[in-house]
Structure 1
Amino acid sequence: MRTRPSILLGRDESDGRFSFRYLTSRPPVKILAGFSIFYLLLIQYYSHANYRDPTSYFFDPTHAYERMYSADRIREADAFIRSAELLTSGPTPSQQPPVMCIGVATVTRRGEQYVRRTIGSLLDGLTHEERHSIYLDILIGHTNRSTHPISGEKWVGTLPNKVLTYEETDFSRIKEWEAGGWYRNKTIFDYTYLLNDCYATGAKYIAMLEDDTLAVEGWYPRALEALRNVEAKMARRIGKKWVFMRLFYAEDLFGWNSENWPTYLFWSFVTWAITSGSLIFARNRSRSLQNFLSNESMLAISGLCIPALVALFFASGRNSIWPLAPGVHEMNKNGCCSQGYIYPREIVAPLLERTDLVTDWLVDMMVEKISDQEGWIRWARAPALLQHIGTTSSKGYGFDNTAGHLWNFGFELYQKSHLGRSHQ
């Protein structure tokens, strides 16, 4: 009579082969199977949680640029501009000197003119005292102002404290720049011309904003609070100067920078070594773990699981792992762009002395280079108080793609409170 071969622990004793039951009972297989399920769940989570992080592998540009808070704020800004059409006189003169002069230079863009929303969002929600402390200075950047679509609109005569013109400048040179398409030279001139005009008001702070930005409701008191924090930090840095505080920054530059790869590699190795060493120590101290954490199991954990988790850590995105905490942060690098700077009064004159209208550069490049040369500190307020809403560039067609993706994703997380001031 033929006997049926017995199977012990999944091993077929008749030929020494391993059965499926034996294979799945092995600790390394259990570890890898459980880890695979856990890893897939993590990937699923990050694909939903980090799709708006431009530094993440899971970034989804088809949905990340959705206007959430800014859509509501645009409606409020539009409503404010419409209501300004009913005003019969200009603003009450600002206090002398004003706390802040806001300079906005605007030029005609192809299609939509964003400057209306910029001005509307800056002024909407201000208290009477706040508006009284602000001097709003607008430059319509054309030698023939009537070429700008807003030139005949009523709010231009009722909302700004001043509409700056080119009458007291080198008019012929500006016309030459316009005719020749020398937008970089003219942009630098417009910026410094308006900055100097704001400086002449005696304002303590000078905010220079681009004409395609959108301000969060309640931006002004938040900015003043942030400026006080900057000044408190600078008081402890004897002999140092600061040049501006950013109201906008592009988060896609805050990723894992290639120049720091030795640091990332070092800490990845430290993480691997500490985790592996801790497991080996625990195995040696516990008899119950000795069978489970066999050499094969340790090879699976140290050779596959830990490296895979480290890789997922970096893939999830630096902004998601280490977001900027609310407050002010030193940002001397990777702080693009010049959508909104607030300068302290004492730095404006030294800055203007160092500007150059001939060099072929952009405003942010100019200010950054001067700041690097002088050792001036740059600060940023987090979360950002401005959003960039322009999709057509004032510089021409070649910059439209960049303009459409110049975005602060954190700005969209603001929520409108029932008290009428946005909060986060």
Structure 2
Amino acid sequence: MNPLRQPGFRALALLLTIVAFYMTYGYFNFYRDPLSIFFSQKHGYDQFYSATRQAEADAFLDVLHANPDAIRSQLAKAGPRPEICAVFLTIGREMQGRQYIETAVASFLVNMTRAERNAIHLKLFFADVPTPETQHKSYTTLATADIADDIVTYQGSLPEKGKEEKLTLLESWFKRRNDKSMIERKSLHDYAYALRQCTETTDTPYIALFEDDIILADGWAARTLKNLHTIDDMMKDPRRHNPARGQIKPGGPNSWLYLRMFNQERSSGWYGGYGFRSNNAHIISLAVGIPLLALMLLTRRLFLPRSLARYIDIWVLLVTCGVAVPLFVWLFFASGKASLLGSPPGVHEEWFGCCSQALVFNRKHAEGLSDFLMAATTKIGRAGRADMLPKDYAWEHGLARVSAYPMLVQHLGRISATGTTSVEASQIWSMAFENLEASQLTSDHMKAVEELFGQKEVENMRTHS
């Protein structure tokens, strides 16, 4: 008997062919997804859009250093009623060339319109203690450039009463940064202090906190303002309510804590490992395979003529329901959520997410969150992380957490100021950010500016481009 003529053998050969094509496709297309079996450590973190954006930031810095008056006259400062108080938290790092903060601020400002700049109060918070003027290589450069609305230091902003004791305490925490608890205390204090600086010195409805080792996409400001207005409209839905603790679900809370502008694919949904039992793949396989088997048996018996029914023998059923179904279910999860599904554009409530690189807070809850973080700095043992404690605060107070896609921020830091290894730092990465197209972002930027500020501002954009 020729095995090539057996239906089961043909079914197995077809399955192997499909899998071979899929594996080849995955190798060339899913290699940047960290939750995929196809992920490449060598090329997974290759820069695409971020390289383009970094070149634009470098060009902006070159012009700023050569002719700062031109940049200041083009952008000016925040207007009398800004909507966002944006704070960059920065600490000096041991690195060659420009510090991360310079590139970050340049990406914040490059291609920004005057109207967008008027809507944003920009603070640069140099959190080195006791003397950032000598500890941070970029302090003099950025302070002299005079492109921020406010330069904040502990030395210059702490109340005189108890200042020296506070500076000594902060310095002792930072010097012991190899102790996780100590550096957590310093980081939490910096975060809480930045929030407090905005609540005490501005009336903006939104407060954005940015870490210094990021880069922002073209048009981030107008897109973020639109997203924030969308969130405010979402919260006005009469079906929303004030939930009890432990009863938070999307669509429930009638107030929100923060908008996430950066997320990594490792924190964007399922991940239980690559084993067959991960994500309950074995249960899903049974739930799909058994009904499919019943359907195939019923179809063969009742609806197919005998000349066709003989092609659905026991081996075809075994290959289809016992091999193909479990294999495809496992491949679905093992290929990675970001690769197969991605994140739909728009503003969505999400209870997962990573990192504190770029968050925009609702002013209504900023003071309470600042107090919550400050209190954590005095806890016995581990203080907690600045990216996790806001989640705890949102949970305890029944507040929504929101993400906006596409993500408009990328994390570029490899040299940590807090003891994180370069390998760990490199893994805080957004694959989706690298997929952004510069031409599309420019077009979207103009549309958002027109919606927010009118056609005249778009004409000004074209004039200065």
- Aligned partner of 1:244 in structure 2 is 258
Query: Which string of whole-angstrom CA distances, capped at 9 and with x for unpartnered residues, describes residues 14-33 of structure 1?
Result: xxxxxxxx222111112112
- Aligned partner of 1:222 in structure 2 is 223
For the residues of structure 2 that align with 1:296 and 1:332, how far apart are their CA atoms? 45
For the residues of structure 2 that align with 1:73 and 1:256, how far apart are their CA atoms? 30
- Residue pair 2:143, 2:151 contacting (<8 A) in 1 also: no
- Residue pair 1:84, 1:158 contacting (<8 A) in 2 also: no
For the residues of structure 1 that align with 2:212 and 2:45, how far apart are their CA atoms? 20
- Residue pair 1:137, 1:161 contacting (<8 A) in 2 also: yes
- Aligned partner of 1:144 in structure 2 is 131
For the residues of structure 2 that align with 1:201 and 1:227, how far apart are their CA atoms? 18
- Aligned partner of 2:18 in structure 1 is 38
- Aligned partner of 1:15 in structure 2 is none
Q: Map 1:238-317 to 2 at 5 A.
A: 238-239=241-242, 240=253, 241-258=255-272, 264-284=281-301, 285-287=303-305, 288-317=307-336
Q: Map 1:85-234 to 2 at 5 A.
A: 85=65, 86-88=67-69, 92-112=76-96, 113-142=99-128, 143-146=130-133, 147-153=135-141, 156-166=144-154, 167-169=156-158, 170-179=163-172, 180-181=175-176, 182-199=182-199, 200-234=201-235
For the residues of structure 2 that align with 1:192 and 1:255, how far apart are their CA atoms? 28
For the residues of structure 1 that align with 2:319 and 2:281, how far apart are their CA atoms? 23
- Mean CA deviation greater in 357-366 or 136-145: 357-366
- Residue pair 2:90, 2:127 contacting (<8 A) in 1 also: yes
Query: Which string of whole-angstrom CA distances, capped at 9 and with x for unpartnered residues, describes residues 203-253 of structure 1?
Result: 121100000010000001111121122222222223232110000011112
- Residue pair 1:392, 1:404 contacting (<8 A) in 2 also: no
For the residues of structure 2 that align with 1:234 and 1:108, how far apart are their CA atoms? 39
- Residue pair 1:217, 1:422 contacting (<8 A) in 2 also: no
Q: Cα RMSD between the aligned structures?
A: 2.3
- Counting matched residue pairs gives 401
Structure with more of its chain in helix, by fraction: 2
Residue 352 (structure 1) aligned to one of 370, 378, 402? 370
Query: Which string of whole-angstrom CA distances, capped at 9 and with x for unpartnered residues, describes residues 252-294 of structure 1?
Result: 1235344996765443323213332332233221113211111
- Aligned partner of 1:6 in structure 2 is none
For the residues of structure 1 that align with 2:297 and 2:440, how far apart are their CA atoms? 55
- Aligned partner of 1:378 in structure 2 is 401
Shift in Å at residue 162 of structure 1?
Answer: 0.5
Shift in Å at residue 365 of structure 1?
Answer: 2.2
- Residue pair 2:102, 2:142 contacting (<8 A) in 1 also: no
- Aligned partner of 1:393 in structure 2 is 416
One-letter amino acid matched to 1:316: S
Q: Please identify the structure whose Cα radius of gyration is greater.
A: 1
- Aligned partner of 1:363 in structure 2 is 386
One-letter amino acid matched to 1:346: K
One-letter amino acid matched to 2:68: L
For the residues of structure 2 that align with 1:28 and 1:294, how far apart are their CA atoms? 7
- Residue pair 1:192, 1:352 contacting (<8 A) in 2 also: yes
For the residues of structure 1 that align with 2:143 and 2:60, how far apart are their CA atoms? 10
Change (3 A) 1:153 1:243: same
For the residues of structure 2 that align with 1:372 and 1:390, how far apart are their CA atoms? 29
Shift in Å at residue 304 of structure 1?
Answer: 1.9
Change (3 A) 1:418 1:50: closer
One-letter amino acid matched to 1:222: R
- Aligned partner of 1:411 in structure 2 is 433
Structure 1 residue matching 2:140: 3-state secondary structure: coil
Change (3 A) 1:255 1:44: farther
Using the size of structure 1 for normalisation, the TM-score is 0.88
Shift in Å at residue 420 of structure 1?
Answer: 4.1
For the residues of structure 2 that align with 1:119 and 1:201, how far apart are their CA atoms? 20
Residue 34 (structure 2) aligned to one of 54, 59, 70? 54
Change (3 A) 1:118 1:78: same
Q: Map 1:338-349 to 2 at 5 A.
A: 338-349=356-367
- Residue pair 2:54, 2:215 contacting (<8 A) in 1 also: yes
One-letter amino acid matched to 1:352: S
| Gap regions ≥5 residues in structure 1 | 1-9, 11-21
Change (3 A) 1:257 1:417: closer
Change (3 A) 1:128 1:54: same
For the residues of structure 2 that align with 1:362 and 1:258, how far apart are their CA atoms? 23
- Residue pair 1:210, 1:339 contacting (<8 A) in 2 also: yes
For the residues of structure 2 that align with 1:168 and 1:154, how far apart are their CA atoms? 18
For the residues of structure 1 that align with 2:293 and 2:88, how far apart are their CA atoms? 57
Shift in Å at residue 135 of structure 1?
Answer: 0.6
Shift in Å at residue 175 of structure 1?
Answer: 3.1
Query: Which string of whole-angstrom CA distances, capped at 9 and with x for unpartnered residues, describes residues 372-412 of structure 1?
Result: 2222211111111100000011202x443211211010000
Change (3 A) 1:233 1:418: closer
Q: Percent identity?
A: 27
- Residue pair 2:184, 2:384 contacting (<8 A) in 1 also: yes
